[in-house]
Chain A
Amino acid sequence: MDSRSSEPVARIPLPSSATTGLKIVIVGGFGVGKTTMVKSVSEIRPLSTEETMTRAGVGIDDARGVEAKSTTTVAFDFGRISLNEELVLYLFGAPGQERFWFLWDRLFTGTLGAVVLVDTRRLADSWYAIDRLEHHGMPFIVAHNQFGESTHSLDQIRDALDLAHDVPLIACDARQRESSKAVLITLVNHLYALSSARQVTS
């Protein structure tokens, strides 16, 4: 769940040598485990903050009966991993519904890549997110959060998502640090392969 972190927490400051903030976005529907994944690898307790959109003309809200408003506020959670003395990686859990995409424009600028977190109960929630990522040319991988049990094969999920074969798809348990870590490493390896290939061809 995307719980708000409202209790005071002792801040863990970054070293003064920190120079560069990097971003990875974890996107998925409500309750799919975004914040759980952030929490399992973050060195700080996930923090929550808000962004607002004031422009009109947002997409249809998934919550039935709630009309799209001209002003929308969305809370999103994030965590932090100090990679070395200079590089700091921020992980953002972003809601994938259509009405939240205003947030993405801002999040995506300079983002390394994205993890689409899916669960098989609500696979359809991911279609829009995957479509938009492809449209933006944002590299991503898909992680199936199994919560410890597997009822669908990855091939079945790939078919259901109509996912291109060059997009990595892996199973994970977002509660487990090692598993979430493996998801991030899979993404960065994918980015590295894409980036190296690009350098060779250009």
Chain B
Amino acid sequence: MSPRLEDENPDRLYMVTGGRSSVTDDALDMVTLIVSECEPTPGMQSEHARILRLCRSPTAVVEIAAELRMPVSVVCILLCDLLDTGRVTARKPRPAPAETRLPDPEILKQVLVGLQKL
């Protein structure tokens, strides 16, 4: 792996991901909300434990990355481990109709109301 982060040791990123550099599963979006389904256990990899603590309330993938100070792609690999073992669940964004790329008008109405209340 090439050095990626100015203030990060690449070896550590290699270690935390077990040497994997990409996720085949494309299921995680940056704003997918992640929720813990269990508490950290002794002996658990520390990054996994941190994610479980962070996600006691729903937390977006990108927020986890910012808190852990790791690239989003590395966090996705860690999350896939936790998802595979059922220790977290993902609340996925509602997919937009693929052919239009335009969101549902009902969702947009709710967004407007929310923004107007700001």
A167 within 8 A of B: no
Contact residues in B for A81 (Cβ distance below 8 Å)? 114-115, 118
Which residue of the partner chain, among A16, A88, A112, contacts B60 with CB atoms under 8 Å?
A: A88
Which residue of the partner chain, among A48, A90, A181, A192, contacts B105 with CB atoms under 8 Å?
A: A192
Nearest CB of chain A from residue B7's CB, rounded to whole Å:
9
Contact residues in B for A189 (Cβ distance below 8 Å)? 112
Given contacts A54-B21, A73-B5, A107-B30, whether A191 and B114 have CB atoms under 8 Å apart is no
- A20 near B57 with CB under 8 A, answer no
- B31 near A139 with CB under 8 A, answer no
Nearest CB of chain B from residue A134's CB, rounded to whole Å:
12
- A191 near B57 with CB under 8 A, answer no
- B72 near A198 with CB under 8 A, answer no
Nearest residue, chain A, Cβ from B94:
A20
Given contacts A22-B31, A90-B31, whether A11 and B93 have CB atoms under 8 Å apart is no
B81 within 8 A of A: no
A113 vs B57: C-alpha distance when bound (angstroms)? 27
Which residue of the partner chain, among A18, A78, A84, A185, contacts B110 with CB atoms under 8 Å?
A: A84
Contact residues in A for B12 (Cβ distance below 8 Å)? none
- B115 near A188 with CB under 8 A, answer yes
Nearest CB of chain A from residue B96's CB, rounded to whole Å:
6
Contact residues in A for B30 (Cβ distance below 8 Å)? 21, 23, 90, 92, 106-107
- A184 near B104 with CB under 8 A, answer no
Contact residues in B for A47 (Cβ distance below 8 Å)? 62-63, 66-67
Nearest CB of chain A from residue B45's CB, rounded to whole Å:
20
Q: Can you name 6 A-B residue pairings with CB atoms under 8 Å?
A: A13-B57, A71-B3, A87-B110, A90-B31, A112-B111, A195-B105
A residues adjacent to B (C-beta < 8 A): 11, 13-16, 18-23, 41, 47-52, 54, 70-71, 73, 78, 80-84, 87-90, 92, 106-107, 109-110, 112, 137-139, 177, 181, 184-185, 188-189, 191-192, 194-196, 198-199, 202
B residues adjacent to A (C-beta < 8 A): 2-6, 21, 29-33, 35, 54, 56-60, 62-63, 65-67, 69-73, 91, 93-96, 100-105, 107-116, 118
